[in-house]
Amino acid sequence: MGGLTVMRALKARLPGENLLYLGDTARLPYGTKSADTVTRYAVQAAKALIARDIKMLVVACNTASSVALPILETAFAPLPVIGVIGPGASAAVAATDDGPIAVIATEGTVKGGAYVRAIQALSPRMPVVQQAAPLLVPLAEEGLISGEIARLAVERYLTPLLATVPRPKVLVLGCTHFPALKQTIAAVAGSDVTLVDSAETTAKAVEQALKSAGLLNVGSGGVAQFLATDAPDRFANVGETFLGSPIDPGSVEVVDL
């Protein structure tokens, strides 16, 4: 579901592109599953999309990007494959000279250490601190993105993380669900902490990659299509929170991976 925040950013930045979104609603969440399971699911989802003649694959999930991206890139070459972690890491490093950089993400992304590796590949001495924030995922899916419940949950995760000495200067929203809670997270973090939204940074990376490959559709008029593996009504209802616009349940095609 959270990948719809990436789709929202893609629609805003690339209005001429046709977008095909697959939400694996039958098997979510990915963030608490093993790396092997997430990789298997990601490959299956990629095959279903590639069968529909796509020109680029965007892995709009931090957990899947953290464990499956190299396998997807190899298995489906020369198809361009872009994950959300690399663009997020680049934006985080660009936002500070000395850090620390803080990351909130799912359990799977934090345990895998993908952001630490990606950030320190760009800036080897950059200190990185992480915090798994699993409760924020169901809160976002229930639409509880503001108010006291959301604030208390965000404070639970950010208070110890931002108490690190020295205090982090950048906070990476390392789960595609988290941009839905961006205003609450910003209020708790304070104005001295720069937020890095993986959805926005990924959309920029997609635009650059399409331009470089001569694949960019300019102008407007792009069409969005939605696929889900279960419960299209719930997908449409919950998805509106992340996409920022209504989704017609009747337009959601159910597919079996």
pLDDT, tens only, 152-183: 999 999 999 999 999 999 999 999 999 999 99
Q: Say whether 175 is catalytic.
A: yes
Residue 203 has pLDDT above 90, yes or no: yes
Q: Is domain 85-198 in CATH 1.10.3720.10, yes or no?
A: no
For position 186, what pLDDT does the model report?
A: 97
pLDDT in tens, 208-221: 999 999 999 998 99
Residue 223 has pLDDT above 90, yes or no: yes
Common-topology check for domains 3-83+201-254 and 85-198: yes
**Active-site position among 103, 175, 228, 243:** 175
Q: What are the residue ranges spanned by the domains of the chain?
A: 3-83+201-254, 85-198
For position 107, what pLDDT does the model report?
A: 87
Q: 166 vs 104, 188, 195, CA distance in Å?
A: 17, 18, 17
What token pair was written down for 105?
């993400």
Across the chain, mean pLDDT equals: 95
The closest alpha carbon to 43, from 16, 71, 12, 9, belongs to 71
Q: Under a CB-based contact definition with an 8 Å cutoff, are residues 41 and 30 in contact?
A: yes
For position 110, what pLDDT does the model report?
A: 92
Distance CA 252, CA 257 (A): 15
For residue 155, what are the contacts with CB-CB under 8 A and spacing of at least 6? 188
Helix, strand, or coil here: 169? Answer: coil
Query: What's 3-83+201-254's CATH class?
Result: alpha beta
* E-strand stretches of 5-79: 19-23, 57-59
pTM higher than 0.85, yes or no?
Answer: yes
Distance CA 64, CA 59 (A): 7
The single-letter DSSP state of residue 217 is: -
Identity (one letter) of the amino acid at 6?
V
The closest alpha carbon to 132, from 106, 165, 170, 171, belongs to 106
Q: Say whether 5 is catalytic.
A: no
**Active-site position among 38, 42, 59, 61:** 61
What token pair was written down for 212?
């470089």
